[in-house]
Copies of this chain bind each other. A is one copy, B any other.
């Protein structure tokens, strides 16, 4: 069963999860792959195969229990537990993320925010006092942090990542517009907002000039 799961499958799991949450909110408690296919715009076979990578969650002749499937996907994604999170970089993105209540609701506790700009250190941001990155080492020894979010300028992203990894951080969510590389054994997600904007720009041009 546990052959390496492809990245494409993993990337679809959050979509399934979101969709199932919607269904749950609508008090629907049973769903078939063909119905999901219609509403999500994915192929029904693909959905069944994706889900089957992790085990047989459905019931032949019946479909999938919304509640059960949502629960299973949450477990697979690791959303059945809480995470302690810190933010590096108290710029606009960092400030936006520290105040984003949804993460908190979903099990990601954003605890503290750090910056290397002494002008920002000590100031208040959405109820959190900005701390100095020089205090990071001691902080990480004293607190059990699971995830660090990098919101620095791109020039500082890699060195921030190196620092965090050297202090034992195992997961990095990177918002700086530069890929950060880390050793095997550390998880990274590079967000790259500007890449997404560029692709939108391309698509717009494509639409306007006509395919």
- Closest chain B CB from A92 CB (angstroms): 4
- Closest chain B CB from A9 CB (angstroms): 10
Q: A11-32: which have CB < 8 Å to B?
A: 11, 13-15, 17-18
A184 to chain B: closest residue by CB: B207
Which of B18, B92, B108 sits near A99, CB closer than 8 Å?
B92
Is the pair B202, A196 in contact by a Cβ cutoff of 8 Å?
no
* Tally of contact residues, A, Cβ under 8 A: 57
Q: A95-148: which have CB < 8 Å to B?
A: 95-97, 99-100, 102-103, 106, 108, 146-147
Is the pair B204, A170 in contact by a Cβ cutoff of 8 Å?
yes
Interface membership of A53, Cβ < 8 A: no
Which of B17, B95, B186, B205 sits near A78, CB closer than 8 Å?
B205
Is the pair A204, B192 in contact by a Cβ cutoff of 8 Å?
no
Which of B76, B95, B194, B208 sits near A106, CB closer than 8 Å?
B194
Is the pair A13, B100 in contact by a Cβ cutoff of 8 Å?
no
Please indicate the chain B residues that have their CB under 8 angstroms from the CB of A207 in the complex: 170-171, 185-187
Is the pair B10, A202 in contact by a Cβ cutoff of 8 Å?
yes
Please indicate the chain B residues that have their CB under 8 angstroms from the CB of A13 in the complex: 198-199, 202
- Closest chain B CB from A51 CB (angstroms): 15
- Indicate whether A191 sits within 8 Å of B193 (C-beta atoms), given known contacts A93-B96, A96-B95, A100-B92: yes
A192 to chain B: closest residue by CB: B14
Please indicate the chain B residues that have their CB under 8 angstroms from the CB of A83 in the complex: 201
Please indicate the chain B residues that have their CB under 8 angstroms from the CB of A77 in the complex: 198-199, 201-202, 205
Which of A's residues lie within 8 Å of B, judged by CB? 4, 10-11, 13-15, 17-18, 76-79, 83, 92-93, 95-97, 99-100, 102-103, 106, 108, 146-147, 170-173, 177-179, 185-189, 191-208, 211
